[in-house]
Amino acid sequence: MRIDKYLWCVRYFKTRNIATTACKKGHVKVNDTVVKASREVYPTDTIVLRKDQVNYTLTVLDIPPNRVGAKLVDIYRVDKTPKSAFEAQEMLKLAKDYYRKKGVGRPTKKDRRDLDDLALENEQ
């Protein structure tokens, strides 16, 4: 089975087109080699996939006949992604949300002054 179809079947991507694009961009490696979307996948292959700033590591157990339900995904792969990768993603989300919520508007005078003070502290 093709790597893009496999990643779509085991629900790492919502569409095959998105999976193919990820392969073209070099976000997918099989056995430590960057692969094209047409690369065949076999049981015992190790896949490293970069998605949402997290490097997922999975091992292929079996090839699904077609797209499977979320409860059946574990039959076809073993996820070996370390927990620290997800913790780093959570910290990144918190860092983005800390200053101002999206859509709140322009910075106020006080916000601008605080930013200027922060920039001066970092220069010293």
Q: What is the pLDDT of residue 106?
A: 79
pTM over 0.75: no
Q: How far apart are CA 38 and CA 27, in angstroms?
A: 14
Q: What is the pLDDT of residue 116?
A: 87
Write out pLDDT tens, residues 34-59: 999 999 999 999 999 998 888 999 99
Q: How far apart are CA 103 and CA 98, in angstroms?
A: 14
CB burial of residue 9 (10 Å; 0-12, 13-18, 19+): buried
